[in-house]
Chain A
């Protein structure tokens, strides 16, 4: 079975541009998570969805960040406008259910560089 799929794997953009990161969770998983990894802050949860509904977006750093999950097999994380401090690796993860102790399966990440 395919794991979590993220695209693009690498993105280089200029400050002020809109950036859209994409994620396809594992089929049948109904919880989806977006994380950001930086040297300074480590891995931090940005937002998570259950059954396509955002449950907790308290980790989203600013209004420039938005996430959507229009259906069970697709989610986007958008940054508009992007800034150099948004440079990081963004991971998407999915899990079978919400709550409980099932592990989260992570995608390969998108390495974002904002110049």
Chain B
């Protein structure tokens, strides 16, 4: 069965610090997809990124970057120069069953303090 582990329950940083959110996944599928979603205090779920199992290229989007390593089954997320607006719960997610079932990790609550 698929499983996503986010070992960090809560992280607290001061603004402008870099922070990395860890994600380890388990799957028996050879083809799979991984995602990151953000849930700000307002409660909605916001899509951040999608990665498929064949593409191990790291990706950078502004202050956000993602490191996908199949060898360690990890899909880590780094925020550079964090800002207060980055405060949210971040979910690492995998997709199975024809990619329709999203398996959510428990989430990491990030608090960025001024």
In whole angstroms, what is the CA distance A107 to B47 when docked? 12
Q: Which single residue of chain B is at the shortest CB-CB distance from A43? A: B104
Q: Does the CB pair A91–B104 fall under 8 Å?
A: no
Instruction: Determine whether A109 belongs to the interface, using a CB cutoff of 8 Å to chain B.
Output: yes
Interface residues of B in 93-114 (CB under 8 A from A): 95, 97-102, 104-107
Instruction: Determine whether B60 belongs to the interface, using a CB cutoff of 8 Å to chain A.
Output: no
Q: Which of A42, A48, A89, A105 is B47 in contact with, Cβ under 8 Å?
A: A105
Instruction: Determine whether B35 belongs to the interface, using a CB cutoff of 8 Å to chain A.
Output: yes
Number of A residues near B (Cβ < 8 Å) is 25
Most central of A35, A42, A44, A91 by chain B CB within 10 Å: A42
Q: Which single residue of chain A is at the shortest CB-CB distance from B52? A: A101
In the bound complex, residues from chain A placing their C-beta under 8 Å from that of B102 are 33, 35, 43, 45, 104
A108 with B98: in contact, given A42-B107, A101-B50 (CB under 8 Å)?
A: no
Instruction: Determine whether A103 belongs to the interface, using a CB cutoff of 8 Å to chain B.
Output: yes
Q: Which of A31, A89, A109 is B100 in contact with, Cβ under 8 Å?
A: A31
Most central of A103, A105, A106 by chain B CB within 10 Å: A103
Instruction: Determine whether B84 belongs to the interface, using a CB cutoff of 8 Å to chain A.
Output: no
| SS class, residues of chain A in contact with chain B | strand
Chain B 67-104 per-residue mask, 1 if CB under 8 angstroms from chain A, else 0: 00000000000000000000000010001011111101
Q: Which 9 A-B pairs have the closest CB atoms?
A: A106-B45, A43-B104, A103-B47, A99-B98, A101-B33, A108-B44, A42-B106, A109-B43, A45-B101
Least CB distance, B33 to chain A, in whole angstroms: 5
Q: Which single residue of chain A is at the shortest CB-CB distance from B98? A: A99
A98 with B44: in contact, given A43-B104, A103-B35, A103-B50 (CB under 8 Å)?
A: no
Instruction: Determine whether A70 belongs to the interface, using a CB cutoff of 8 Å to chain B.
Output: no
In the bound complex, residues from chain A placing their C-beta under 8 Å from that of B97 are 56
Least CB distance, A108 to chain B, in whole angstroms: 5
In the bound complex, residues from chain B placing their C-beta under 8 Å from that of A61 are none
